Structure 1
Amino acid sequence: MQWSLLRPVGLVPAVLVLTTIAAGAEGGKSAGPSESLLILQIVLLIVVGRGLGEIMQRVGQPSVIGELLAGIILGPSLLGWLWPEAQHAIFPKTPEQKAMIDGIAQFGILLLLLLTGMETDLKLVRKVGKAAIAISIAGIVVPFACGFALGEFLPDALLPNPQQRLVASLFMGTALSISSVKIVAVVVREMNFMRRDVGQIIVATAVIDDTIGWIIIAVIFSLASHNTLDIGSVAKAVLGTLVFLAISFTIGRRLVFQLIRWANDTLVSTAPVITVILLLMGTMALITHLIGVHTVLGAFVAGILVGESPILTRQIDERLRGLISSFFMPVFFGLAGLAADLSVLRDPNLLMLTGLLVVIASVGKFGGAFVGGTLGGLNYRESLALASGMNARGSTEVIIATIGLSIGVLSQNLFTMIVTMAIVTTMAMPPMLRAALARLPMNKEEKERLEREEFEKRGFVANLERPLLAVDESVNATFAAHVAGLIAGMRGLPITVLHVGKRATEQERGRDGEESHEAVVKRAAETVTSDPEAGNVDVTTRIRRSDLGEAVGEEAKKGFDLLVVGIDKVVATRDRFDRKVEDIAAQFEGPLAIVLAKGSHLKQPVPDGLNILVPVSGSAVSKRGAEVAVALAQAGSGSLRVIYVATTRDKGAQRGVSRGLSQETGILKDASDLAARYDVDITTTLRVNRSPEAAILREIDTTDVDLVVIGVDRIQADHLSFGGVADAVLRQSKVSVLLVSSGEARRASSEKA
């Protein structure tokens, strides 16, 4: 076990020796800036930082601690003390060479704030509500006052400019009051407390802390830029910040979403969405700079807006996180560690002041958060867990200290003291929070909510991000638009309508008409009231300008996770789907929802409600069908009937009646539990000794259902097939049918419903 912990840094000594020799040789060649030396610095920071970060994670600490320690080891604190020649050769203090890697680090700050913003869940803050805001205010005011008071009493020798003591005191207060939402979220998530009530309050409070902190830093930056307390300049910065935030979270939110979707749907170059996000980050950072506040606020707000984009969030997060975590984080935090010279702590006075800083920071934040939690309605144990979590500074603290050092507000010694405080409080937080959270019991309501959310996390409908609707001019297309609108309206999903009929151009031009498919989608979404965002559906129109298969294939590349098909002719002769349906399905690898309107829906394709029948068998695909049926019943304000059907015609399956009935009853109970999670009333039916299609058709004939929803598998064949059961129901049913398929084809080994 010990060897496995040490293995990640086993190459560090060799890298140190090789890079020292190479750096020394490079330094002997030229006194000017060196590109090869820059590469050596980056390689060294990444190797040592990532290696130590790996060790930190394995012992239960955040990886950022390892990256900070890498800089301390490679800087004057250790390497510069043991071997100053090598340290100076690798990291010379010449302005030109230092400026090269500092430029990378400065851009890294913006990317770190972009990622922090993307991890900021404003929905969580809104959900927790007033409690988190009250807790956050108390948790900021107390440590801010402590930090400000400490700044006012600091010796002049610790300040680069004693005349700017006010700005330095404000910086100290901010540094002591902000928690690192990234570190807090990592530990809470690791403890599986992210969805617990207290976990949500902890993370939401950290989010508010972070947001308020960056706004304060932006204003302090304006103060520092003018070297004096200029009321006019401060008022301009505050007003400009408020206007910037107001525009960003109203017009800007929709604009960012539209730009991301436009880049994804229109541009054909590599990673166009990432390019647009980086441009947005840079533009908003420049806007805040023009306002007179720091660029980090613009990058942070850009990250929040990108994180709230309803499409492609997982793909964006994965791509950006990999680049930032593997490159920019070890470089930036490594340089922060390099700038912190811990050797100065050999001075007893500085060591005592640093200890005092750690104590004041911890007591102030812990006490303020504890009092805030008590006032916010939390009990003793919950307040204790909250206070423990809020005491981590981590990356946020280091970024703030780096900004203070770069603009001349903090001295080198004061910077070292703050970084030391950040490391100590961050390393103390995980074990304290784990101990506090482990003692928190779970009440009944919280348990039920967590079970529901865990189910939704694994579910199909809850994880949809972007459906595509392919329609022509038929009545069936109108009914499909209604169904797609109900699905999209459940969570406010953006939807694209692809017109594939003969009059596709006319349909696209008439998208604003009362009878257009787009209008049907919007009206259906507006009927959904289970979610605050229901009905807020953004509809985009596309028309087929090429062959049907090619048009669908082009759209399929844009990240859609469900294709709803509604065209005039669905089935053909000889157990085959219509050629158009097969062409559409062949170009889309994800889940399909094929709609066939029959009965009353041919006369009224936009019904007031849906009376749904869904067959279940216990298979994964039947569960998916049941989930869609429950969602449609909830959204469409209709009824739901569930019928158990066998998944095979094998006579052996009928042996052991008592065992079979027990299994069938259990499957129906699962369906009832699913409906109960969505507050949908259902009727269950158990029909034995019948083939699946016969049982389904019998239920249709004897009840008042008007839609059958069936979860099906794609069958590997030379044509589109979902098996005999689906084919029989499609052809013989007197009511509408919705087939919900999985994304992958399987070999035909048994019949599934």
Structure 2
Amino acid sequence: MYISQNMSDQSGIIKQLATGAPLLFHAEDDHNNQSIVEGGFLSGRNPFVFVPFAPLPTFIVQLVVIVCMSRFVKFFLSPIKQPAVIAETISGIILGPTCMGHIPYFSDTIFSKPSLPFLNLMSNFGLVLFLFLVGLELDPRMLKKSLRNSLTISLTGMALPFALGAGVSYILYTYMEPPSHQNGFTKYFLFLGVSFSITAFPVLARILTELELLKTKVGSITISAAAVDDATSWCLLALVISLINAGSGLIALYVFLMGLGYSFFLLFIVRPMFAWLLRRSGDGTQSHVMMFLALMIVFVSAFITDAIGIHAIFGGFLTGIIMPREGGFAFHITEKLEDIVSILFLPLYFALSGLRTSIGSLDDPLSWAIVLLVICVACFGKIFGCMLAAKITKMNWRESITVGCLMNCKGLVELIVLNLGYDAHVISQRTFAIMVIMALVTTFITVPLVSYIYPPVYHDKSDIQL
């Protein structure tokens, strides 16, 4: 599809969008098109039609629609204490091909395919900042509390789901992936193994806070185990992504080693220098210069990790981990960034996950049987593995089951991982839809299960048996 020289207004663009043809602009039309954009709707411009050289109006419309829909869905989920990521992903599913995409011209106007790369760019920019905040929450000092028990729960709770996920991946690969799948089974089962073994540390921290469990014995051990789980998962994922991007095992090893070397550089060189500057600045928490330096390290690290061949979000995550906690600097940065990231950027990213999720692609009984199998395997692997490890550490049955249910929360970290796999063409749209449903279900059931199994009357009463 193409726009002719005589098409000086955008009525023709709308007609072309209705036919599903792509928009291509000739160089000789640029001046006329630019005049329309600069003149606004009085010059014949339709602000709802995406124009590649002026994407801002479309992005603003997308932002408003996504954020408002997320808030609307969250309004109904708040009474049952569901985390925001559930509402944001469901809002994307509603706005996507599963639901509102069936409305004539809705997707072609609001979420047209040429506009999605710009939406993806902004959502990934916000994701880098969010992973920076996640890294800030992972205070290494917290891991020293109940370290032995937390390590036991975390590693056992990752090994069993990884093994089960790798096993289920054969069924998914056989029945859900097209014959032309380009990345091969090895990368596929490694990726799904990591996906099954993840616990969403940021969502879990908020759930524990809302249920007033954070300062209890169960909460303390669980949050430490989730922190170990989260850090280990990102390391495994970095290895898998480097293997996918590199194409060969030897190059993947070099990529991973370079990422490891850069991590040590941040930890042993950048962190001490930044801490020294922070002390020299006096009241560093109020210093715009220190805030500027912190953000520049985030973006430079994102660029370096992306250039290495891992992913830009790992740069943000690593920078968050190495930020000094002394003097409340980490808290100050979080306070400055958290609202803008959580209100605007995160809904974009997780709604984009929903937009990519076509539940209609699961159009036969076999597909839904596999969905049920994936959910059952994911829940069994995480809950049973962590419960068994918690019992070994001499927690009672009620506490052990509670730890397993909490560690089963996959939330936004799972969705981030799935998007990475989808973008890298490791998983198809059908596998993506199945895994998104699994992530939503495992996150959704966490609060009701924990509230039922471990109500406030049992908090810190370790002598009570189930």
TM-score normalized by the length of structure 1? 0.52
Structure 1 residue 75: Cα displacement: 0.8
Change (3 A) 1:125 1:436: farther
- Alignment partner of 1:406 is 2:427: no
- Residue aligning to 1:698: none
Q: Does 1:48 align with 2:69?
A: yes
| Contact 1:274-1:320 within 8 A present in 2 as well | no
Structure 2 contact 271–324 (Cα < 8 Å) conserved: no
Match of 2:174 in 1: 155
1:360 aligns to what SS in structure 2?
A: helix
Partner Cα separation in structure 1 for residue 284 and residue 134 of structure 2? 28
Alignment partner, residue 274 of structure 1: 291
After TM superposition, give the deviation of residue 376 of structure 1 in Å: 2.7
Structure 1 residue matching 2:145: 3-state secondary structure: helix
Evaluate the alpha carbon distance shift between residue 222 and residue 313 of structure 1 in structure 2; reply closer, same or farther with a 3 A threshold.
closer
- Residues 439-458 of structure 1 show CA distances to partners (whole Å, capped at 9, x for unaligned) of 5343599xxxxxxxxxxxxx
Query: Do the aligned residues in 2 keep the contact of 1:105 with 1:331 (CA within 8 Å)?
Result: yes
Matched residue SS, 2:328: coil
Contact 2:201/2:226 (<8 A) preserved: yes
Deviations 1:588-630 (A, max 9, x none): xxxxxxxxxxxxxxxxxxxxxxxxxxxxxxxxxxxxxxxxxxx
After superposition, the Cα gap between the structure-2 partners of 1:242 and 1:372, relative to the gap in structure 1 and judged at 3 Å, is farther
Deviations 1:193-218 (A, max 9, x none): 11112111111111111111111111
d(CA) in 2 for partners of 1:250, 1:31: 44
Deviations 1:382-428 (A, max 9, x none): 21111010111110000000111111111111111111111111000
Equivalent position of 2:228 in the other structure:
208
Instruction: Please report how far the alpha carbon of residue 314 of structure 1 lies from its aligned counterpart in structure 2 after TM superposition.
Output: 3.0
Whether the 8 Å CA contact 1:391–1:429 is kept in 2: the answer is: yes
How many residue pairs were aligned? 417
Structure-2 change in CA distance of 1:431 and 1:282 (3 Å): same
For residue 103 of structure 1, report the CA deviation from its aligned partner.
Answer: 0.6
Match of 1:322 in 2: 339
Aligned 8 A contact 1:366 1:388 in 2: yes
Alignment correspondent of 1:173? 193
Q: Structure 1 residue 142: deviation in Å?
A: 0.4
Equivalent positions of 1:251-330 (< 5 A) are 251-260=269-278, 271-306=288-323, 308-330=325-347
Q: 2 CA distance for matches of 1:197 and 1:370?
A: 15
**Aligned partners of 1:423 and 1:133: how far apart in 2?**
26
Following the alignment from structure 2 to structure 1, what is the Cα–Cα distance between the partners of residues 255 and 272?
A: 25
The CA deviation string for residues 490-535 of structure 1, in whole angstroms up to 9 with x for no partner, is xxxxxxxxxxxxxxxxxxxxxxxxxxxxxxxxxxxxxxxxxxxxxx
Between 340-349 and 401-410, the greater mean CA deviation after superposition: 340-349
Secondary structure class of the residue paired with 2:199: coil
SS state of the match for residue 394, structure 2?
Answer: coil
**Equivalent residues in 2 for 1:191-206 (5 A)?**
191-206=211-226
Partner of 1:479: none
Q: Which amino acid aligns with 2:351?
A: G
- Gap change, CA 1:74 and 1:273, over 3 Å in 2: farther
Return the alpha-carbon distance in structure 2 between the equivalents of residues 146 and 387 of structure 1.
16
Asked whether the equivalents of residues 69 and 334 of structure 1 are also in contact (C-alpha less than 8 Å), the reply is yes
1:128 to 114, 128, 146: 146
**Secondary structure of 2:275's aligned partner:** helix
Distance (whole Å) between structure 1 residues aligned to residue 418 and residue 372 of structure 2: 17
Could you tell which deviates more after superposition, 330-339 or 240-249? 240-249
Which residue of 1 is the match for residue 91 of structure 2? 70
Q: Return the offset for 1:163.
A: 4.8
- The one-letter code sitting in structure 2 at the alignment partner of 1:195 is K
Could you tell me which amino acid in structure 2 is paired with residue 183 of structure 1?
Answer: V
Q: Look up the SS of the partner of 1:155 in the other structure.
A: helix
Do residues 243 (structure 1) and 264 (structure 2) align? no
Distance 1:122 1:30, change over 3 A: closer
C-alpha contact 1:261 1:311 (8 A) present in aligned 2 = no
User: How far, CA to CA, are the matches of 1:54 and 1:254 in structure 2?
Assistant: 44
Letter in 1 for 2:107: Q
Residues 108-127 of structure 1 correspond to what in structure 2 (within 5 A)?
108-127=126-145
SS at match of 1:67: helix
- Given candidates 164, 189, 208, the residue that maps to 1:146 is 164
Measured in 1, the distance between the counterparts of 2:125 and 2:308 equals 19
| Conservation of the 8 A alpha-carbon contact between 2:97 and 2:358 | yes
Alignment of 1:427-466 (within 5 A): 427-438=444-455, 440-442=458-460
> Is 1:331 the equivalent of 2:352?
no
Q: Does 1:182 align with 2:199?
A: no
Q: Pick closer, same or farther for the CA change 1:191–1:163 going to 2, 3 Å.
A: closer
Is 1:57 the counterpart of 2:78 in the alignment? Answer: yes
2:375 to 317, 333, 358: 358
How far apart are 1:311 and its partner, in Å? 3.3
Contact 2:284 2:290 in 1 (8 A): no
| Cα deviations by residue, 1:64-109 (Å, 9 ceiling, x for unpaired) | 111111111111111013x142122110012xx2211111011122
| Secondary structure of 2:374 counterpart | helix
Contact kept? 1:257, 1:310, Cα under 8 Å: no
Among 113, 119, 123, the residue aligned to 1:101: 119
Q: CA deviation at 1:140?
A: 0.3
Match of 1:343 among 339, 342, 360: 360
Answer yes or no: is the 8 Å Cα contact 2:213–2:219 preserved in 1: yes
Which moved further from structure 2: 103-112 or 260-269?
A: 260-269
Alpha-carbon spacing, 1:251–1:441, altered in 2? closer, same or farther (3 Å): same
CA contact (8 A) 1:175 1:401 kept: yes
Q: RMSD of the alignment, in Å? A: 2.6
Q: What does 1:337-736 align with in structure 2 at a 5 Å threshold?
A: 337-438=354-455, 440-442=458-460
Where 2:458 maps in the other structure, the secondary structure is: coil
Contact map agreement 2:222 2:406 (CA 8 A) in 1: yes
Distance in 2 separating the partners of 1:252 and 1:437:
43
CA distance, structure 2, for counterparts of residue 132 and residue 273 of structure 1? 34
Contact 1:108 1:324 in 2 (8 A): yes
Gaps spanning 5+ residues in structure 2: where? 1-40
Question: CA 1:152/1:38 → structure 2, altered by over 3 Å: closer, same or farther?
Answer: same
Q: Which TM-score applies when normalising by structure 2?
A: 0.83
Q: Which has the higher helix share?
A: 2
Partners of 1:187 and 1:390 in 2: how far apart?
A: 11
Alpha-carbon spacing, 1:99–1:380, altered in 2? closer, same or farther (3 Å): same
**Residue 115 of structure 1, CA deviation:** 1.4
Deviates more, 1:275-284 or 1:302-311: 302-311
Q: State the SS of the aligned residue for 1:293.
A: coil
In 1, Cα distance between the equivalents of 2:98 and 2:208? 32
Residue type of the partner of 1:387?
Answer: G
In 2, are the aligned partners of 1:139 and 1:368 still within 8 Å (CA)?
Answer: yes
The 8 Å contact of residues 132 and 376 in structure 1, kept in 2 or not, is answered as: no
Q: Percent identity?
A: 27
Cα distance in 1, alignment partners of residues 82 and 277 from structure 2: 38
Residues 268 and 203 (structure 1), Cα distance of their counterparts in 2 relative to 1, 3 Å cut: closer
Match of 1:88 in 2: 108
What amino acid sits opposite 1:158 in the alignment?
E
Higher strand share: 1
Task: Report the equivalent of 1:563.
Answer: none
- Counterpart amino acid of residue 364 in structure 1: G
